[in-house]
Amino acid sequence: MDVRIEDGRVVSIGGSDTNPITQSYICAKVRRYPEHLYGPDRIRFPQVRTGRKGEGHFRRVSWDDALERIASRMKALAASGRAERILPFSYGGSNGYLSQDTTDARLFGRLGASRLARTVCAAPSGAAALGLYGKMAGVALQDYVHAKLIILWGVNPSVSGIHLVPYVLEAQKRGGKLVVVDPRRTRLAEHADLHLAIHPGTDLPVALSIIRWLFENRAVDRQFLARHADGVEELARRAEPWTSEKAGEVARVSRVDIERLAGLYADSSPAAIRCGWGLERNRNGGSAVAAVLALPAIAGKFGIRGGGYTMSNSKAFDLDSLSSARIDAPGASPPATLPREINMNRLGEALLGRAGEPVELLFVYNANPAATIPSQGKVLSGLVRQDLFTVVFDPIFTDTARYADVLLPASTFLEREELVRGYGAFALQESKPVVAPVAESRPNHEVFAELCRRTGVARHGDPETADELTREILGANPSGAQIREAIDTGGIAFPAGNPAPVQFVDVFPKTSDGKIHLVPEELDREAPQGLYRFQPETPDAAFPLALISPASDRTISSTLGELRREAVSLELSPQDAKERGISDGARVRVWNHHGEVLCRARWNVKLRPGVALLPKGLWSHNTDSGTAATALAPDTLTDIGGGACFNDARVQVELRRSQ
């Protein structure tokens, strides 16, 4: 990014060309970052609550006062053997290596606090990618230009990863074909050769029917599989029941289109699959991702530039956060039993005391659970508990911040050091502060290090500063020195120094034996009925619409939501709207057993009938009810990985006659 500074303040932010794929442009929402930094919703000072929980009234206190209130409670809980009643709650934040799993992990780990399973996103797809390939690095985005066929499966790069788009368009210009698998006609679906508009949550049968078709039509690369994979016959057996006809019925698409997709895939090379996160957010999500990721192995699409798959690339660098040795107290033997683990998707249950020991101290950072976690009703009920002590540490006064007892101001990635990597794209960079932190805001690693000292868990020699932590993180990596050198000379590092590795030429599965495990045992055990076994939904006539809540171009999850003040509409296909007497722009109520949202409706011809849409990441100011799509999302978990089932929300919509 290129950031322009005037008088010590950020005045504009744009794309740089240091990272070749950024090509000097960034998305419109992040160009508004100066407003995010200096706007009225920035938390500037530590504060303590004065009004009722959720009301949003606070008074300023010193850092010393704020941290002492927190540390004394932590110490008291730990001293009385109730450390598990402390729950740290965090997710991505700005996705840096320094602002997560460093001094925070040390603090909570050494105190013996409850552990958090970070599952709200990418947990099922991560489990699948790890099980099948050990999270092998994926096809580089710039290599998509070489593909003769691109499949965008459950991903909407025009919104959620714009730097892939030019390469897709270029591939098409060079004669490549494009297929999109998505319940709605996204921007790229409009330009696709084939758009498979499946019903949400039916990717598994579709992918299995393609696998079955490949076996039936002798389009399987037996030689490759014999050398590189196991579980081939077992996967074939599990795909066997899924004829294209049967899959088409379940997915509500034509058999012919599924076979066309299978045929195109068999015949095209290089063929690249960009697997997104839209397909993981339902009860079959992990198996669905696994089946999609199995396709290039079955059809022999690896070993050529532009062929294979791309997932998150989160393990491309083999960088661990602080090594566990540094988290445990030096010399301490590991505890006989680890503290309990709480799945973040069940935060509401945990706060309501339905997960064993009650939570007494909740410490939220790098996340906005009041907006982003399933079963919003339960989460909010939990957050207003009088006997819960909540800390919220964020640069911005989020919806969650309203419920805090103590508010701590965090600095942003432009105001502190960070070691950052791409999400999908390869790149690791070290960013230095370009402006002073706003008011009294401070970086995560510093605040958690101070809490370590105040609670008495700090040890002599703990790495604490950004430099020390960076050294520690890179030092634990076999290619740390190489990464360091690349960053120092070119400002950017790529995995093994290669900006565009080719799968099965430059990179191979990172599983224990280097093979692809098509039916990984551990996942097969974890999935309720075994991996690849479709769990159908039980249709409920009262809630006939499938609600999806994908990424929007206005926020990043809920981040930047303070800048999106306008009312946001529920999108419906004109057919579903008309059946309910709902005109374009009408006031509606959307509800199910979990909650309700009051907002307006917007007709969207790009949605298939039976599907409704509210974007993810809404804040209370975006709807009349103050609730979001998460209010309608069940807190059930995906088949593997304990992921969120946002797109399993089934709802009804009616016209609101009163205001």
Ligand X SMILES: Nc1nc2c(c(=O)[nH]1)N[C@H]1C(S)=C(S)[C@@H](COP(=O)(O)OP(=O)(O)OC[C@H]3O[C@@H](n4cnc5c(=O)[nH]c(N)nc54)[C@H](O)[C@@H]3O)O[C@H]1N2
Instruction: Give the interface with ligand X as residue ranges (CB under 6 A).
Output: 91-94, 99, 120-121, 153-156, 159-161, 181-184, 186, 198, 200-201, 203, 276-279, 281-282, 365-369, 372, 393-396, 398, 410, 444, 548-553, 555-559, 616-617, 629-630, 633, 646-647
Least distance from ligand X to the Cβ atom of residue 557, Å: 3
- CA 438, CA 52: separation in Å to the nearest integer? 27
Q: Which is nearer to ligand X, 48 or 655 (CB)?
A: 48
Kindly provide the b/e burial profile for residues 508-517, where b requires at least 16 CB atoms within 10 angstroms of the residue's own CB.
bbebeeebbb
Q: What is the DSSP string of 406-451?
A: EEEEBP-TTSS-EEEE-SSS--EEEE--SSPPSTT-B-HHHHHHHH
Cβ neighbours of residue 449 closer than 8 Å, sequence gap 6 or more = 103, 106, 458, 462, 464
Distance separating alpha carbons of residues 35 and 39, to the nearest angstrom:
5
Q: Given the rule CB under 5 A, which of 39-47, 119-127, 156-164, 365-373 is the region that contacts Mo ion?
A: 119-127
Interacting partner of 551 out of ligand X, Mo ion, none (Cβ under 5 to 8 A depending on kind): ligand X
Contact between 3 and 12 (Cβ < 8 Å): yes
**Residue 311: CB minimum distance to Mo ion, A:** 13
Least distance to ligand X from the beta carbon of 174, Å?
24
CB of 91 to Mo ion, least distance (A): 8
The type of residue at 270 is P
In the complex, the smallest distance separating the C-beta of residue 535 from ligand X, rounded to whole angstroms, is 14
Min dist CB 106 to ligand X, Å, is: 16
Q: How far is the CB of 619 from Mo ion (least distance, A)?
A: 17
Which CB atom, from 116 or from 500, has the smaller least distance to ligand X? 116
- Choose one: 114-122, 242-250, 288-296, 377-385; the region binding Mo ion (CB under 5 A): 114-122
Environment class of residue 599 by beta-carbon count within 10 Å: exposed (0-12), middle (13-18) or buried (19+)? buried
Asked if residues 287 and 528 have their Cβ atoms less than 8 Å apart, the reply is no
Which of Mo ion, ligand X, none binds 203 (CB below 5-8 Å, type-dependent)? ligand X
State the binding partner of 405 from ligand X, Mo ion, none, CB within 5 to 8 A by kind: none
393 binds, among Mo ion, ligand X, none (CB under 5 to 8 A by kind): ligand X
Query: Please, what is the minimum distance in Å from the beta carbon of residue 122 to Mo ion?
Result: 6
State the minimum distance, in angstroms, from the CB of residue 484 to ligand X: 23
Q: Which one, 398 or 470, has the nearer CB to ligand X? A: 398
- Mention every residue, 6+ apart, whose C-beta is less than 8 A from residue 405: 48, 49, 53, 389, 390, 391
Residue 613: closest CA among 657, 560, 569, 659: 569
Task: Classify residue 153 as exposed, middle or buried by CB count within 10 Å of its CB (0-12, 13-18, 19+).
Answer: buried
178 strand-pairing partners: 150
Nearer to ligand X, 200 or 308 (CB): 200
**How would you class 17 by CB atoms within 10 Å of its CB: exposed for 0-12, middle for 13-18, buried for 19 or more?**
exposed
Say if CB 260 and CB 104 are below 8 A apart. Answer: no
The DSSP code for 647 is G
- Considering beta carbons, is residue 156 or 623 the nearer one to ligand X? 156
Whichever of 126 and 231 has its CB closer to Mo ion, that residue is 126
Instruction: Give the integer Cα–Cα distance in Å for 469 and 462.
Output: 9
Q: Which does 130 bind (CB under 5 to 8 A by kind): ligand X, Mo ion, none?
A: none
Q: In the complex with Mo ion, which residue's Cβ is closer, 160 or 186?
A: 160
Binding partner selected for residue 262 from ligand X, Mo ion, none, CB under the kind-specific 5 to 8 Å limit = none
> How many chain residues interact with Mo ion (CB under 5 A)?
1
The residue (of 121 and 452) whose beta carbon lies closer to Mo ion is 121
Q: How many CB atoms lie within 10 A of CB 307?
A: 27
389 vs 646, beta carbon nearer ligand X: 646
* Tokens 């565009």 sit on residue: 500
**Partner interacting with residue 209 (select from Mo ion, ligand X, none; CB below 5-8 Å by kind):** none
What distance in Å separates the CA atoms of residue 44 and residue 60, rounded to the nearest whole number? Answer: 9
121 contacts Mo ion (rule: CB under 5 A):
yes
Closer by beta carbon to ligand X, 115 or else 515? 115
What is the three-class DSSP state of 242? coil
Can you read off the two tokens belonging to residue 594? 């979990």
CA distance 607 to 601: 13
Residue 441 interacts with which of ligand X, Mo ion, none, CB < 5 to 8 Å by class: none
**Nearer Cβ to ligand X, position 114 or 314?**
314
Q: Which is nearer to Mo ion, 155 or 599 (CB)?
A: 155
DSSP state of 37: H
Shortest Å distance, C-beta 513 to ligand X: 30
Which one, 114 or 366, has the nearer CB to ligand X?
A: 366
CB of 561 to ligand X, least distance (A): 7
265 binds, among Mo ion, ligand X, none (CB under 5 to 8 A by kind): none
Residues 412-451 interacting with Mo ion (rule: CB under 5 A): none
Residue 398 interacting entry, from Mo ion, ligand X, none, C-beta within 5 to 8 Å by type: ligand X
List the end-to-end C-alpha distance of the chain, in Å, as a whole number.
Answer: 45
Residue 458: contacted member of Mo ion, ligand X, none (CB under 5 to 8 Å, by partner type): none
Q: What is the CA radius of gyration of the chain?
A: 24
β-bridge pairing 47-49 and 9-14: unpaired
Nearest approach, Cβ of 156 to ligand X (angstroms)?
4
279 binds, among ligand X, Mo ion, none (CB under 5 to 8 A by kind): ligand X
Provide, rounded to whole angstroms, the least separation between the CB of residue 548 and ligand X: 4
Alpha-carbon span 161 to 424, nearest angstrom: 8
Strand ranges (E), 405-560: 406-409, 418-421, 428-431, 516-517, 545-548
Which residue number, 122 or 631, has a Cβ lying nearer to Mo ion? 122
Q: How far is the CB of 337 from ligand X (least distance, A)?
A: 29
Report yes or no: 140 and 501 within 8 Å, Cβ to Cβ. Answer: yes
Binding at 612: pick from ligand X, Mo ion, none (beta carbon under 5-8 Å per type):
none
Cis before 270? omega within 30: yes
Q: How far apart are CA 181 and CA 99, in angstroms?
A: 35
**Token duo for residue 37:** 């930094």
Binder of residue 429, out of Mo ion, ligand X, none (CB less than 5 to 8 A by kind): none
CB of 401 to ligand X, least distance (A): 8
**CA–CA distance, 220 with 83 (Å, rounded to integer):** 54
Q: Which residue is nearest to ligand X (CB)?
A: 278
Nearer to ligand X, 183 or 463 (CB): 183
Binding residues vs Mo ion (CB under 5 A): 121
